[in-house]
Amino acid sequence: MQLIADSGSTKTDWVLINKNKKENSFRTTGINPYFKPGEQIVNELRPVFYKHIKPETIKRLNFYGAGCSSHKKKEAVKGALERIFPVAEIFVGHDMLAAARALLGSKPGIACILGTGSNSCLYDGQKITENLFSLGYMFGDEGSGAHIGKTFIKKHLKKQTPGELQNAFAKKYNISDEEILTNVYQKPNPNKFLASFTHFLRENADNPYVKDILEQCFDEFINEQVSKFTNYKSYSLCCVGSIAYYFKDNLTEILKKHQINSGKIIQSPMDDLIKYHVGQV
């Protein structure tokens, strides 16, 4: 049996494959080596696994995670997983590779993640050949939920948004400007807090002002990330993530504006990752 995992900082989705068929799926806490040492990973996961599977029956584990970009971080996660899965052959890769394999399989192209954060790469059908260093929500993550939310909230706090949006926002959230700033500057996970306001933008996606914000943010995503790849206009651009999925029409319009071919856009990589790995068995 083999196990496939797609992990972010807050949650990890696991799928058990037996005889090339999906047998079980479950969710655990996130595994990001930048935030959790190996001992913590083991202590959090070991008791959870025995509720769902027998770790000693797993022969192959393909783990993709946020923060698993450098050799050192990959080895830290692999070491923790080896303590839980004693007989498994374990592969640890970055979540960007998961996106590329899910979106493109064995075909070359540009693979992107547009969720709470953003990332992108040029993929040759087997490996990532070009990938920009991620600067996170403070200095990068263009086109992400955090970036879009931050752009809108900045305009909202400066009273630059139209009156109808100000009123709709106040009715939906009942939150003061001071409370917004407290969440951003004093509480954990400000990127997730900022990204949460994309739900409001989805509800008002037909508003011209909201359309302008989305265009601005997706423009920055193309200019700051995608356009840096070699011959980027000669590839199809594929995306995974909630922002890409729910704002598909806005994103596709911007890609057309930049003369970039739009490819597959999906909300989650797992179903296509299963197809990829079953094909490798």
In the chain, % of residues over pLDDT 90:
67
**Are residues 69 and 156 both part of a single domain?**
no
What CATH number corresponds to the domain at position 18? Answer: 3.30.420.40
**Are residues 145 and 86 both part of a single domain?**
no
Tell which residue, 122, 135, 124, has the closest CA to residue 96: 122
**The total number of structural domains that make up the chain:** 2
221 within a domain of the structure (yes/no)? no
> Which pLDDT does position 280 carry in this prediction?
54
222 within a domain of the structure (yes/no)? no
CA quadruple 264, 211, 152, 215: dihedral, nearest 10: 60
250 within a domain of the structure (yes/no)? no
pLDDT digits (tens, 9 = 90+) for 90-116: 999 998 999 999 999 999 999 999 988
* Per-residue pLDDT at 198 exceeds 90: yes
71 within a domain of the structure (yes/no)? yes
Distance between CA 73 and CA 40 in Å, rounded? 14
Among 214, 241, 262, give the residue marking a domain's end: 214
**Are residues 29 and 82 both part of a single domain?**
yes
Distance between CA 90 and CA 172 in Å, rounded? 46
**Are residues 167 and 84 both part of a single domain?**
no
Tell which residue, 262, 261, 264, has the closest CA to residue 272: 264
Give bridge partners of residue 91 from the DSSP assignment: 62
Residue 80 structural domain: 2-99+270-280
> Which pLDDT does position 144 carry in this prediction?
93
225 within a domain of the structure (yes/no)? no
Average pLDDT, the chain: 91
Among 167, 194, 214, give the residue marking a domain's end: 214
pLDDT digits (tens, 9 = 90+) for 139-188: 878 999 999 999 999 999 999 999 999 999 999 999 999 999 999 999 98
256 contact partners, CB below 8 Å, separation of at least 6: 262
162 within a domain of the structure (yes/no)? yes
Tell me which residue has tokens 């600067």.
135
> Which pLDDT does position 234 carry in this prediction?
95
Contact 182, 155 (CB under 8 A): no
pLDDT digits (tens, 9 = 90+) for 39-74: 888 888 888 888 888 888 899 999 999 888 889 999
The answer for 21, left when phi > 0, alpha when psi is -120 to 50, beta otherwise, is beta
> Which pLDDT does position 34 carry in this prediction?
78
What CATH number corresponds to the domain at position 182? Answer: 1.10.720.160
123 within a domain of the structure (yes/no)? no
> Which pLDDT does position 8 carry in this prediction?
77
12 contact partners, CB below 8 Å, separation of at least 6: 5, 6, 27, 28, 29, 30, 31, 65
* Per-residue pLDDT at 281 exceeds 60: no
**Are residues 8 and 93 both part of a single domain?**
yes
* Per-residue pLDDT at 33 exceeds 60: yes
> Which pLDDT does position 142 carry in this prediction?
94
51 within a domain of the structure (yes/no)? yes
**Are residues 275 and 210 both part of a single domain?**
no
